[in-house]
Structure 1
Amino acid sequence: MAVITLLVQSGCTALGGSGPTHASIKRLDKATYTGDDIALVNLNGAALKRISGYEQSRSFATLLGDSEAQDPVLGAGDVLDISVWEAPPAVLFGAAAEVSAAGAGAQSRTVIQQVVATDGALSIPFVGRMDAGGKTPAQIEREIVRRLTGRANDPQAVVRLSQNDARNVTVLGEVAGSRRVPIGPRGERLLDVIASAGGTRQPVGQVTVQLSRGTATTSMVLDRVIRDPRQNIRVKTGDVVTLLYQPYSFIALGAIARNAEIPFEGGKFSLAQALGRTGGLRDDRANIQGVFIFRLEEPEAVDPAGTLNARRMENGRIPIVYQLNMSDPTAFFVAQDFVMRDKDVLYVSTAPGADLARFVSTVASITFSAISIGNVLGSSSNNAATPAPKPQP
């Protein structure tokens, strides 16, 4: 009995736990993380709206925008095939011209190949030096005809881009072959240039597309670009498209069926799916009001009024704890809309009475074991005290 009494006196501290209690996490707004406040945010419609708005602001369609297909403009390194016609008698290009059709109305054609110089200039016989940089082939045609009028007999010109060297997109990373993909007049889209580089070498759910344009850089999961046509924007000259292999995972701890690092697919993987993948909350231990997600969050994704004193990490993020009260039926809709991110920590606190119930169970087990042992020992003592019967003569 002395052993049992000792256990009763120290039982609440002797039994371990799976993590902090619900009450201690609720006091995080008064706690510090390396000297700065931690923000505790209730997961509700307003919080989801802010998170969704931030995610949308960083999408390809919003941050970089789409554009209409445009005629290609010429730049340094482009190779042009310039065809010039003049009606007979051909006097400028003479014997160099080829007869394009028989008869009195035949015209002679001369084909000239030119490379746009680094300063954007072209030099064409009988036309002279002209600026081609930033102009379309159609504009060059009109300029050639204008300069030849009065010198050639009924001049006509056709300018064809035979080699595109100035308008390219660089595609690299987890693709079959990193390369520079030329942009044609139809306006290639993001998935077009990825396909031109041979496509991704990894599952689309584990690949992040990073698009850099000028000083702006943003990233999205490839699976989302495929599922949302608005994100499949037209690329522009000088864009750099990088495919990054990024396996996603979150840490699951606390009063759930499975404590582990759990991988998941990129894209919209919800908190509801995360809870399902862990096996759900433990009925005998979980506090349904204490479902928490620990995250280093972007400041723009939360209400600034609650994060004024929050610590800014090296990457600009702040420590945030999101709380979901699963006793509210609407929480199941919130859990479906809340999107998990890579390296999130999902923690479910233990119910206040769970440790006591476990303690009582432990004490009861020890008590019954002690009683059983006492009964065995008592039975042995009684047997030893009873004298053996004397043998009969």
Structure 2
Amino acid sequence: MARSIAAIVAVTLVASCGALPRSGPSKREIYAGSVLRDGDAFVVSVNPRVTAATSVTPALGFSEAFRNAAEIGADTIRPGDTLGLIIYENVEDGLLANAGTSASLIDEVQVDSSGMIFIPYAGRIRAADNTPEALRQIITQRLDEQTPDPQVLIRRLAGDGATVSVVGGTGAQGVYPIERPTRTLTAMIAAAGGVAIKPDIALVTVVRGGRSETAYLADLYKNPMLDIALRDGDTIFVEEDTRSFTILGATGAQNRLEFQTEVISAIEALAQVGGLNANLANPTGVFVFRNEPQEIARAVMGRDDLIGAQRMVYVLDLTEPNGMFDARDFVIRSEDTIYVTEAPIVAWNRSVAALFGSLGQVGSTGRALGVE
């Protein structure tokens, strides 16, 4: 009777071994979900052509409008500034001077919201966007028509000039003036104490006039064109790259990981969790699950009839002659899921362990009941 019970248990275990605990689907089950087998995902083996078609990195950087903006001087006059003027006239009875004097003081002339000031006998003059020297020449030309050889001195009495706000992951957040040494983006970040996050994954966003543009900090140093000139009222926001991917299955650890560099390959992603588990992993079954944009999906599949984003499953076989090179070159993107299947022998060993463990329990139960 014990042998009969054991046989029944063995048959039941073998028939249901697919229900035994495991880390996820098998390689065979993933292929079963392919479009070719009435599934809803394209299963594609990675090769150099596929790697080239999918190697899309974040398109970050500054537009021409930001890049072509010229540097502004720290002494540029702006709306709201208050100016003081002294005008010397080369006559005893001048237009502006009091009796017995040759100079007149025009104090506290405020630049209005439209950037204009009013000077007697010279009229309304645009002061904003001019330096004090440029404004001096303009006023001199205007007054020269009224009085011979006027001499004009201009100084800023109040007004902080151009400033920018620096916030986020910097050494010292705050409002900083645009001065001669800090007219460009990287110089201003340095003045704010540099970045307080890992430079490789630091993003720099500049908000200007309701427009926001972002670049990687590392790219600012690689490409001087991206080290843009600053403008009054700019906001500089430094933040950490929030892109992430997930690794599951027979690896050293299963986790959701953030990008540690601007670009990361499949090999580097696996290395972050300790690589494949030598006791469990199937190196022929490393899968990358991704929702691929229409354009890339068409390029990968060589089809022009695909509409909208497509579910793609990329297969990396690390045992192939070029498998490690393909994994090294295959670029991981944000929200990817990397899954490493278990080796077939692992499922077999698990079934055998469950089978013999259950048979041992059955034998023990039979002996307890006096059944041999």
Residues 346-377 of structure 1: CA distance to partner in whole angstroms, max 9, x if unpaired?
A: 2112344542354346556777x689989xx8
Following superposition, the deviation at residue 133 of structure 1 comes to 4.1
Correspondence 1:240 to 2:235: yes
Following superposition, the deviation at residue 253 of structure 1 comes to 0.8
Identify the match of residue 356 of structure 1 among 348, 363, 371: 348
Following superposition, the deviation at residue 251 of structure 1 comes to 2.5
Following superposition, the deviation at residue 127 of structure 1 comes to 2.0
Correspondence 1:309 to 2:307: yes
Percent identity among equivalent residues?
Answer: 26
Tell me, yes or no, if the aligned pair for 2:98 and 2:104 is still in contact at 8 Å: no
Give the 5 Å matches for 1:1-393.
Answer: 1-2=3-4, 3=6, 5-6=10-11, 9-10=14-15, 12-26=17-31, 30=35, 43-46=46-49, 48-49=51-52, 54-55=57-58, 57-60=59-62, 64-65=66-67, 67-70=69-72, 74-82=77-85, 84-87=87-90, 91-94=94-97, 112-135=107-130, 137-157=132-152, 159=154, 167-175=162-170, 178-184=173-179, 188-204=183-199, 207-214=202-209, 216-222=211-217, 225=220, 231-244=226-239, 249-262=244-257, 265-295=260-290, 303=298, 308-311=306-309, 320-340=312-332, 343-360=335-352, 363=355
Secondary structure at the residue paired with 2:67?
coil
Tell me, yes or no, if the aligned pair for 1:69 and 1:186 is still in contact at 8 Å: no
Following superposition, the deviation at residue 130 of structure 1 comes to 1.6
Distance 1:184 1:303, change over 3 A: farther
CA distance in 2, matches of 1:162, 1:236: 22
Distance 1:8 1:26, change over 3 A: closer
Secondary structure at the residue paired with 1:60?
coil
Tell me, yes or no, if the aligned pair for 2:140 and 2:150 is still in contact at 8 Å: yes
Distance 1:148 1:237, change over 3 A: same
Secondary structure at the residue paired with 1:332?
helix
Tell me, yes or no, if the aligned pair for 1:116 and 1:132 is still in contact at 8 Å: yes
CA distance in 1, matches of 2:110, 2:350: 83
CA distance in 2, matches of 1:114, 1:134: 16
Following superposition, the deviation at residue 60 of structure 1 comes to 3.4
CA RMSD, Structure 1 to Structure 2 (Å): 4.6
CA distance in 2, matches of 1:125, 1:350: 88
TM-score by length of 2: 0.71
TM-score by length of 1: 0.68
Long gaps (5+) in structure 2: none
CA distance in 2, matches of 1:96, 1:183: 42
Secondary structure at the residue paired with 1:355?
helix
Which structure would you say has the larger Rg? Answer: 1
Distance 1:268 1:148, change over 3 A: same
Q: Which residue of 2 aligns with 1:387?
A: none
Following superposition, the deviation at residue 144 of structure 1 comes to 1.1
Distance 1:10 1:49, change over 3 A: closer
